[in-house]
Amino acid sequence: MSPVANPPHVPDRRGPLSILGVTMYIQVTGAETGGSYSIMEHIFPPGGGPEFLHTHPAQESIMIREGTFDVYSKGPKGKEATRAGPGDVHHVASQGAHGLKNVGDAPGRAFIVFHPADLQEKFFLEFDELFSKPAVAPDPTRLRALFAKHNFVLLERPPGM
């Protein structure tokens, strides 16, 4: 089965969104699934990704399509990394501490499923609106407020915060 391009007549699909250097496309919206889940495509530059440990209410399943990633979690000895490549899937439970970084030399690509849909969609759309048009460096105070508004808990400090 070949991939289907985003039809221009579907107004709920969004992209590209720019979130901390990662380019995202909402491929399946919550509106299409009755709010049950959404699927987003993430394109990470080399060294890119939210490697800082964080939590949020939505469950997240990360499916690596291209590239080499470290998927971070919090274990008994602190932050742990699991190497992941094409075909690997990593699931994060609601409120599970996690992070992700492209450790390869080329752009990496992942499909990420969020359940329920609206929690992450609203965060990413608002982030893109606040900081990407025109592209501005996120003000740490506004960024912390956005994370708090969407119930993201930062267990490590992201760059610039």
Q: Any idea what the CATH number is for the domain that residue 76 is in?
A: 2.60.120.10
Whole-model pTM? 0.84
Residue 161: its pLDDT value, please? 64
In a domain? residue 1:
no
Residue 18: its pLDDT value, please? 86
Give the residues of the chain that fall short of pLDDT 50.
Answer: 1-11
Residue 160: its pLDDT value, please? 61
Provide the number of structural domains found in the chain.
Answer: 1
Residue 134: its pLDDT value, please? 65
pLDDT, tens digit, for every residue of 101-136? 999 999 999 999 999 988 888 888 888 888 876 666
C-alpha to C-alpha distance for 76 and 46, rounded to whole angstroms? 29
